[in-house]
């Protein structure tokens, strides 16, 4: 009987110890404060490049901005082509965006405000490419042939080159076949592969493309260059906190003052971002009015 009692006492101590160990191994903590959630704002960039290339160039910039913001973050979003980007922008999908100048002035109609732009306006120009073996000597040689462009709403890469062809004697609607192929790279590849006699783009994607595909530069050359216009804009959607836009502006407009910032700008082929407002793009509006009057309608915004 004594042995049974002693064994029971020993087992009780062991069991109590196990309970204590289990209790000690689980120590939940409680807090009256709710878990903080990071507010995310979408930053859309028009198809300067294909989505993969665009992320390679612009994600480091977004990461840099996010590292200097508190409790909020920007999320970069690319679009597969101009049509997809236009649909998002004009529906107010993006909180912040970097549209081309045409899209910039159009976005104002849909509740966006211009707060900045890319600098280096002298580099915002269209270029028209031909194959070196094409024997194209003058604009007249394009008659009856196909010319490729990224999209009907691409300002530097389509609208400005079409205006160039217009003032040099071509009827854009009747004299040539206009092929809108969806991206800068596709436009370039069309002339390289002889699907079009000429291709329209603008310097940054062309320079990036020939670095990656130097064999193309051996076969294709810049035949004509347009005059420059204002560079791409920075816009913010109505209702976004002004304090956040001020923070982002200060970061962007001071990139060129640091070595880190300059390295971020270099792949964009850009020396700086700068302040701008809706009125800054009045020159673009004037050009677009002339273009639509003399050349063709761009798109319906009704």
What's the pLDDT tens digit per position in 66-90?
Answer: 999 999 999 999 999 999 999 999 9
Q: Which of 174, 207, 225 is the last residue of a domain?
A: 225
Least Cα distance to 57 among 266, 262, 224 occurs for 266
What is the pLDDT, as a whole number, of residue 294?
Answer: 97
Q: Which of 172, 200, 225 is the last residue of a domain?
A: 225
Give SS3 for 217.
Answer: helix
Percentage of residues in the chain with pLDDT exceeding 90? 78
Which region among 50-59, 94-103, 166-175 has the lowest average model confidence (pLDDT)? 50-59
- The answer to whether residue 5 sits within a structural domain is no
Read off the pLDDT of each residue in 139-163 and give the average, rounded to a whole number.
97
The separation between CA 238 and the C-alpha centre of its own chain, rounded to angstroms, equals: 20
Q: Is 113 in the same domain as 235?
A: yes
Q: Is 273 in the same domain as 189?
A: no
Question: What is the C-alpha to C-alpha distance for residues 182 and 201, in angstroms, rounded to an integer?
Answer: 11
pLDDT over 80 at 284, yes or no: yes
The pair of three-digit structure tokens given for residue 156, joined into one six-digit string: 């530097």
- The answer to whether residue 63 sits within a structural domain is yes
Q: Is 101 exposed, middle or buried (0-12, 13-18, 19+ CB in 10 A)?
A: buried
- The answer to whether residue 2 sits within a structural domain is no
Q: Is 84 in the same domain as 97?
A: yes
- 7 pLDDT band (50/70/90 cuts)? very low
Which region among 48-62, 201-215, 288-302 has the lowest average model confidence (pLDDT)? 288-302
The H or E element containing residue 41 is strand 39-45
Q: Note whether 298 and 162 are within 8 A (CB).
A: no
Residue with tokens 């094409």: 134
pLDDT digits (tens, 9 = 90+) for 16-47: 444 444 443 434 444 444 445 789 999 999 99
Q: Is 276 in the same domain as 157?
A: no
Tally Cβ neighbours within 10 Å of residue 286.
10
Q: Note whether 103 and 70 are within 8 A (CB).
A: no
Could you tell me the residue range of the domain that residue 154 belongs to?
127-225
pLDDT over 80 at 140, yes or no: yes
- 217 pLDDT band (50/70/90 cuts)? confident
- The answer to whether residue 118 sits within a structural domain is yes
Tally Cβ neighbours within 10 Å of residue 38.
10
pLDDT over 70 at 252, yes or no: yes
The pair of three-digit structure tokens given for residue 16, joined into one six-digit string: 């109590």
- Say which CATH number the domain at 157 has: 3.40.190.10
Question: What is the C-alpha to C-alpha distance for residues 97 and 170, in angstroms, rounded to an integer?
Answer: 34
- The answer to whether residue 15 sits within a structural domain is no
What is the pLDDT, as a whole number, of residue 38?
Answer: 84
The pair of three-digit structure tokens given for residue 84, joined into one six-digit string: 């997809």
- The answer to whether residue 49 sits within a structural domain is yes
pLDDT over 60 at 248, yes or no: yes
Q: Is 64 in the same domain as 184?
A: no
Q: Is 92 in the same domain as 111?
A: yes
DSSP strand pairing (233-237 vs 220-225)? unpaired
Count of domains forming the chain: 2
pLDDT over 60 at 259, yes or no: yes
What is the pLDDT, as a whole number, of residue 34?
Answer: 47
Q: Is 100 in the same domain as 235?
A: yes
The pair of three-digit structure tokens given for residue 54, joined into one six-digit string: 């665009």
Q: Is 152 in the same domain as 216?
A: yes
3-state helix, strand and coil shares in percent for the chain, rounded to the nearest 5: 50, 20, 35
Q: Is 62 in the same domain as 191?
A: no
pLDDT over 70 at 170, yes or no: yes
Question: What is the C-alpha to C-alpha distance for residues 96 and 237, in angstroms, rounded to an integer?
Answer: 6
What is the pLDDT, as a whole number, of residue 22?
Answer: 42
- The answer to whether residue 25 sits within a structural domain is no
Q: Which of 225, 246, 280 is the last residue of a domain?
A: 225
Q: Is 102 exposed, middle or buried (0-12, 13-18, 19+ CB in 10 A)?
A: buried
Q: Is 221 in the same domain as 260?
A: no
pLDDT over 80 at 62, yes or no: yes
Question: What is the C-alpha to C-alpha distance for residues 96 and 41, in angstroms, rounded to an integer?
Answer: 7
- The answer to whether residue 218 sits within a structural domain is yes
pLDDT over 50 at 173, yes or no: yes
Q: Is 217 in the same domain as 270?
A: no
The pair of three-digit structure tokens given for residue 299, joined into one six-digit string: 């798109």
Q: Is 154 in the same domain as 171?
A: yes
The pair of three-digit structure tokens given for residue 83, joined into one six-digit string: 């049509």
């Amino acid at each position: 009987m004594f042995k049974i009692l002693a064994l029971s006492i020993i087992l009780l101590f062991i069991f109590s110890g196990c309970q204590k160990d289990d209790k000690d191994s689980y120590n939940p903590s409680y807090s009256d404060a709710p878990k903080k959630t990071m507010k995310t704002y979408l930053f859309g960039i028009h198809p300067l490049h294909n989505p993969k290339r665009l992320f390679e160039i612009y994600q480091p910039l977004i990461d840099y901005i996010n590292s200097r913001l508190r409790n909020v973050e920007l999320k970069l979003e690319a679009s597969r082509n101009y049509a997809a980007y236009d649909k998002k922008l004009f529906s107010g999908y993006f909180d912040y965006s970097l549209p081309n100048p045409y899209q910039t002035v159009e976005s104002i109609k849909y509740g966006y405000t211009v707060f900045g732009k890319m600098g280096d306006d002298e580099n915002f120009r269209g270029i028209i490419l031909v194959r070196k073996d094409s024997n194209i000597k003058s604009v007249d040689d394009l008659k009856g042939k196909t010319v490729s462009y990224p999209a009907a709403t691409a300002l530097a890469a389509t609208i400005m080159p079409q205006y160039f062809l217009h003032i040099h004697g071509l009827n854009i609607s009747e004299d040539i076949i206009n092929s809108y192929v969806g991206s800068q790279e596709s436009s370039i590849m069309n002339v390289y592969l002889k699907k079009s006699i000429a291709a329209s783009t603008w310097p940054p994607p062309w320079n990036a493309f020939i670095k990656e595909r130097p064999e193309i530069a051996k076969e294709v050359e810049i035949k004509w260059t347009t005059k420059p216009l204002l560079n791409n804009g920075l816009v913010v959607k109505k209702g976004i906190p002004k304090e956040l836009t001020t923070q982002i502006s200060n970061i962007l407009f001071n990139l060129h003052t640091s070595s880190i910032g300059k390295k971020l700008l270099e792949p964009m082929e850009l020396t700086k971002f700068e302040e701008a407002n809706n009125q800054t793009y009045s020159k673009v509006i004037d050009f677009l009015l002339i273009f639509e009057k003399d050349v063709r309608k761009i798109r319906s915004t009704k």
